[in-house]
């Protein structure tokens, strides 16, 4: 009887979970209508028939005559069934019509170009219509079918914007030569390439995203550690508990809660202005996903609900089950599991310690080793456990975090999250959760499946749930009872030959060389933040980008091609576009700042002009009128067609010596940072893109803090991340002084 009750309990839980997913799938499938609206339409049609009115104009009779006649199908049954079929068709047509209208409305982007606080009448009408058609309670994927496709810009617009973007970087002779090459391309083969690209845009969901994932990420044969993966930090000032197992348990449990909401589609879709929906496609592969190495190209393996986690600690791998009795393990139960791993004194097996460095080195040796040494026996079973896990976790034996008394503490923390020891993160997993021995945590994310706002969305939910919903006891343990009957974690077994160990060591040495060359500096700028910048009636992003241009000029004495990442998620399956932040307007402003004969009023006028230019370019990028993704796709088409283009070759070979990105914050607004000012995230960062350049990620944390994550290479004599951080700090202060002339330059 006990066993029967247990079986019924598990079956009930599984049925409820599956039913919830299916129900939400139906709700998403018929959005912006609802299943109940189908019943309303059926009743309405049936009512008109009983009133001897035929709203179908004879269609119901035609459906009726096509139905088979039998002893079970009476005339009345035929009539009712015909009416139901007609009503269903009418209802589906209504859904498609609503989606088409909503898609047309969402293709309007005039609102984004309007001045802040000034809204035209047409935009107000548009907002009302979008609200009416958006439904009441949309689920995560409700708007996917209504999102417009990314438009293909015209060749003329792209070429003109490109030439404008390189003008401040070329002298007159170089610019004339570039104009000739660009105009030759515009005549031929651009029209031919554009024609094929437009054909793709008609049948593809997004004409960029599949090629971007394949050619920018998956076909790259260089190491993805540092070069591709990025990191996200924990809360800046707060560590909720210093017990490593407890913190890991709460974080993992919160992630499982988030995954369940994700699978059910229960998360609310992000919407600009609270109205315009963003594409949610990238969320689908957050969990249960691994990048699998290949000889010529990798591929992304995504599985359905996985019920285990793989943990790495002191050179050993452990498999931990995340479910018990058809439910997630409670935090207290997870803490027991993780503490068991920390207390385990067993030694690692030959070759096991540095095994993860295969994912940190070059892709081809890893792909070949995987085929040769991990294709059978215990090696295959253990590797499969890792690659099919919900995600990967490292219980790190180091302590990291922000120490106000140690100016380089965040630098070491960033480097640890970005590359660790080169053998203690599984860089191929969609993300690796790192939990340090002092309770600090963070994430290393593989980049091919999604961009940083996606993982940031999950991380915000997890940190808020950890601190404000799950919590800890006074002793720092997880709350709840402990079920001591749980099976302990299972050690993964390996049989790694000497030849394989040599390959592992080779990958480790390559990865270590890359990691040792990373010069990282995290700069906490707390002189002012978003609050003061907005008082200056300037976009915070434009303010910071101009400060970066000024800082870079002071740092290296020259301007460079600058990359700023912008999102294109207002379009279906949109990812990113490039904003070329170094413009004629920004260089004029920087030169004026360095010219002592220029007055403050002149500098301020040039600043506002440059800021307006930057903001307009950002808006163009967001609305599908960027430069670089279009040129990238034209290049791919040229390669497929066997057409050689000197112009496209030159464009795609130009180095980005300043690569920048803003980390979004408060996507979910789960933490009131006014009430809890210490509970703010520190953002995240990425490695340097060019050998002689800088990578800068920044996050505007509340009203009075901006965090800059700066990367470069020690091997370059032209760069110094700490020096650049000081230049950024001074540039920010000098621009602020333009709005307050009484301030003296420090």
Same domain? For 112 and 174 the reply is no
Cα–Cα dist 212/575, whole Å: 9
Does residue 452 form part of some domain? Answer: yes
Whether residue 306 is predicted with pLDDT greater than 70 in this model: the reply is yes
CB atoms under 10 Å from CB of 137, counted, come to: 9
Same domain? For 635 and 607 the reply is no
Does residue 488 form part of some domain? Answer: yes
Same domain? For 88 and 191 the reply is no
Does residue 670 form part of some domain? Answer: yes
Confidence at 13, pLDDT banded by 50, 70, 90: very low
Same domain? For 358 and 271 the reply is yes
Name the domain boundary from 134, 163, 192.
134
Read off the CATH number of the domain in which 571 is found. Answer: 3.30.559.10
Same domain? For 667 and 684 the reply is yes
Q: What token pair was written down for 490?
A: 């299972």
Question: Catalytic pick from 313, 447, 614, 630?
Answer: 447
Does residue 505 form part of some domain? Answer: yes
Confidence at 636, pLDDT banded by 50, 70, 90: very high
Share of the chain above pLDDT 90, in %: 80
Cα-to-chain-centroid distance, residue 578: 15
Whether residue 336 is predicted with pLDDT greater than 80 in this model: the reply is yes
pLDDT reported for residue 254:
98
Name the domain boundary from 461, 492, 517.
517
pLDDT reported for residue 71:
59
Comparing CA positions, the residue from 575, 547, 590 lying closest to residue 698 is 547
Whether residue 14 is predicted with pLDDT greater than 50 in this model: the reply is no
Q: Which residues contact 326 (CB under 8 A, 6 or more apart)?
A: 9, 10, 13, 14
End-to-end CA distance of the chain: 80
Read off the CATH number of the domain in which 215 is found. Answer: 1.10.275
Tokens 């209508």 belong to residue = 33
Same domain? For 495 and 559 the reply is no
Query: How confident is the model over 41-69, as a mean pLDDT?
Result: 81
| Mode of pairing for the β-strands spanning 562-567 and 658-662 | parallel
Buried/exposed 317-344: b ≥16 CB within 10 Å, e otherwise: bbbbebeeeeebbbbbbbbbbbbebbee
CB-neighbour burial class of residue 4 (10 A; exposed 0-12, middle 13-18, buried 19+): exposed
Q: What token pair was written down for 506?
A: 């080779």
Does residue 425 form part of some domain? Answer: yes
Query: How confident is the model over 29-48, as a mean pLDDT?
Result: 87
pLDDT tens-place string over residues 202-228: 999 999 999 999 999 999 999 999 999
If one compares 64 and 102, the residue with the highest pLDDT of the two is 102
Name the domain boundary from 599, 633, 654.
654
Same domain? For 45 and 3 the reply is no
Cα–Cα dist 31/280, whole Å: 15
Specify the range with the lowest mean pLDDT, choosing from 27-41, 210-224, 724-738.
27-41
Same domain? For 641 and 662 the reply is no
In a 3-state reduction of DSSP, which class is residue 507?
A: helix
Cα–Cα dist 435/419, whole Å: 14
Share of the chain above pLDDT 70, in %: 95
pLDDT reported for residue 22:
59
pLDDT reported for residue 10:
38
Q: Assign 3-state DSSP to the chain and report helix, strand, coil percentages, each to 5.
A: 50, 15, 35
If one compares 22 and 213, the residue with the highest pLDDT of the two is 213
CB-neighbour burial class of residue 156 (10 A; exposed 0-12, middle 13-18, buried 19+): exposed
Tokens 């496209």 belong to residue = 648
Same domain? For 204 and 352 the reply is no
Q: Which residues contact 395 (CB under 8 A, 6 or more apart)?
A: 244, 245, 248, 311, 312, 313, 338, 341, 342, 435, 437
Confidence at 46, pLDDT banded by 50, 70, 90: confident
Specify the range with the lowest mean pLDDT, choosing from 125-139, 151-165, 560-574.
125-139
Range of the domain at 7: 1-22+154-220+624-654
Confidence at 29, pLDDT banded by 50, 70, 90: confident
Cα–Cα dist 363/82, whole Å: 60
pLDDT reported for residue 8:
38
pLDDT reported for residue 1:
41
Cα–Cα dist 154/338, whole Å: 56
Confidence at 556, pLDDT banded by 50, 70, 90: very high
pLDDT reported for residue 11:
41
Confidence at 741, pLDDT banded by 50, 70, 90: low
The DSSP annotation for 433-465 comes to: EEE-TTS-EEEEE-STT--HHHHHHHHHHHHHH
Whether residue 17 is predicted with pLDDT greater than 60 in this model: the reply is no
Does residue 143 form part of some domain? Answer: no
Residue 564, H or E segment? strand 562-567
**What is the pLDDT of the chain when averaged over all its residues?**
93
Is residue 409 within 8 Å of 268, Cβ to Cβ?
no
Same domain? For 476 and 547 the reply is no
Query: How confident is the model over 656-660, as a mean pLDDT?
Result: 98
**Domain count along the chain:** 4
pLDDT tens-place string over residues 682-712: 999 999 999 999 999 999 997 889 999 999 9
Does residue 636 form part of some domain? Answer: yes
Read off the CATH number of the domain in which 307 is found. Answer: 3.30.559.70
pLDDT tens-place string over residues 468-523: 999 999 999 999 988 878 999 999 999 999 999 999 999 999 999 999 999 999 99
Is residue 422 within 8 Å of 512, Cβ to Cβ?
yes
pLDDT tens-place string over residues 345-383: 999 999 999 999 999 999 999 999 999 999 999 999 999
Asked if 477 is an active-site residue, the reply is no
Does residue 140 form part of some domain? Answer: no
Same domain? For 679 and 547 the reply is yes
Is residue 504 within 8 Å of 710, Cβ to Cβ?
no
Same domain? For 269 and 347 the reply is yes
Query: How confident is the model over 160-164, as a mean pLDDT?
Result: 98
């Amino acid at each position: 009887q006990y066993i029967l009750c247990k079986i019924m309990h598990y079956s009930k839980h599984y049925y409820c979970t599956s039913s919830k997913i299916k129900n939400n799938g139906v709700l998403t499938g018929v959005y912006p209508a609802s299943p109940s609206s189908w019943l309303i339409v059926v009743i309405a049609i049936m009512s008109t028939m009983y009133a001897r009115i035929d709203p179908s104009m004879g269609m119901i009779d035609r459906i009726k005559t096509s139905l088979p006649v039998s002893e079970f199908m009476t005339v009345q049954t035929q009539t009712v069934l015909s009416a139901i079929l007609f009503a269903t068709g009418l209802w589906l047509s209504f859904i498609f019509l609503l989606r088409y209208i909503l898609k047309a409305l969402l293709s309007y982007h005039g609102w984004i170009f309007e001045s802040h606080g000034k809204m035209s009448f047409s935009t107000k009408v548009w907002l009302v219509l979008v609200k009416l058609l958006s439904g009441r309670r949309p689920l995560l994927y409700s708007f996917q079918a209504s999102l417009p496709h990314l438009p293909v810009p015209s060749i003329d617009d792209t070429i003109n914007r490109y030439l404008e973007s390189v003008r401040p970087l070329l002298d007159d002779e170089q610019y004339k030569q570039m104009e000739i090459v660009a105009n030759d391309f515009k005549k031929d083969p651009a029209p031919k390439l554009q024609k094929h690209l437009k054909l793709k845009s008609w049948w593809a969901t997004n004409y960029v995203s599949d090629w971007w994932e394949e050619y920018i990420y998956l076909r790259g044969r260089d190491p993805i550690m540092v070069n591709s993966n990025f990191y996200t930090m924990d809360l800046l000032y707060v560590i909720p508990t210093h017990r490593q197992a407890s913190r890991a348990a709460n974080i993992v449990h919160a992630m499982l809660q988030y995954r369940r909401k994700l699978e059910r589609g229960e998360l609310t879709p992000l919407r600009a202005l609270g109205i315009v929906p963003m594409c949610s496609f990238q969320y689908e592969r957050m969990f249960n996903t691994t990048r699998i190495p290949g000889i010529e190209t990798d591929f992304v393996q995504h599985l359905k609900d996985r019920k285990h986690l793989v943990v790495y600690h002191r050179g050993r791998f452990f498999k931990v089950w995340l479910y018990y009795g058809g439910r997630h393990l409670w935090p207290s139960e997870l803490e027991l599991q993780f503490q068991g791993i920390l207390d385990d004194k067993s030694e690692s097996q030959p070759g096991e310690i540095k095994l993860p460095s295969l994912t940190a080195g070059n892709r081809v040796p890893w792909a070949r080793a995987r085929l040769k040494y991990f294709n059978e026996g215990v090696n295959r079973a253990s590797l499969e456990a890792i690659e099919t896990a919900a995600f990967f976790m490292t219980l790190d034996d180091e302590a990291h975090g922000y120490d106000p008394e140690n100016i380089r503490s965040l630098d070491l923390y960033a480097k640890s999250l970005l590359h660790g020891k080169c053998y203690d993160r599984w860089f191929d997993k969609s993300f690796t959760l790192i939990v340090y021995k002092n309770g600090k945590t963070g994430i290393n994310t593989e980049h091919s499946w999604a961009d940083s706002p996606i993982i940031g969305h999950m991380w915000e939910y997890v940190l808020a749930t950890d601190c404000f919903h799950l919590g800890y006891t006074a002793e720092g343990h997880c709350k709840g009872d402990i079920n001591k009957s749980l099976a302990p974690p299972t050690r993964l077994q390996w049989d790694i030959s000497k030849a394989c160990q040599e390959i592992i060591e080779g990958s480790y040495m390559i990865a270590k060389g890359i990691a040792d060359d990373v010069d990282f500096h995290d700069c906490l700028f707390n002189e002012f933040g978003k609050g003061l910048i907005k008082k200056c009636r300037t976009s915070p992003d434009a303010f910071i980008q101009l400060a970066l241009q000024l800082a870079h000029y002071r740092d290296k004495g020259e301007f460079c091609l600058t990359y700023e990442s912008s999102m294109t998620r207002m379009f279906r399956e949109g990812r990113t576009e490039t904003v070329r932040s170094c413009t004629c307007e920004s260089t004029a402003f920087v030169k004026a700042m360095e010219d002592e004969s220029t007055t403050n009023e002149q500098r301020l006028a040039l600043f506002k002009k440059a800021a307006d230019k930057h903001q307009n370019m950002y808006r163009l990028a967001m609305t599908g009128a960027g430069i670089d993704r279009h040129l990238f796709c034209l290049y791919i088409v040229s390669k497929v067609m066997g057409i050689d283009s000197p112009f496209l070759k030159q464009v795609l070979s130009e180095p980005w010596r300043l690569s920048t990105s803003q980390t979004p914050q408060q996507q979910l607004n789960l933490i009131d940072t006014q009430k809890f000012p210490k509970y703010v995230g520190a953002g995240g960062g990425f490695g340097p893109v060019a050998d002689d350049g800088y990578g800068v990620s920044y996050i505007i944390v509340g009203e009075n803090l901006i965090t800059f994550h700066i990367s470069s290479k020690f091997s370059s004599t032209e760069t110094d991340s700490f020096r650049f951080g000081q230049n950024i700090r001074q540039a920010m202060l000098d621009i602020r002084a333009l709005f307050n002339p009484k301030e003296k330059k420090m």
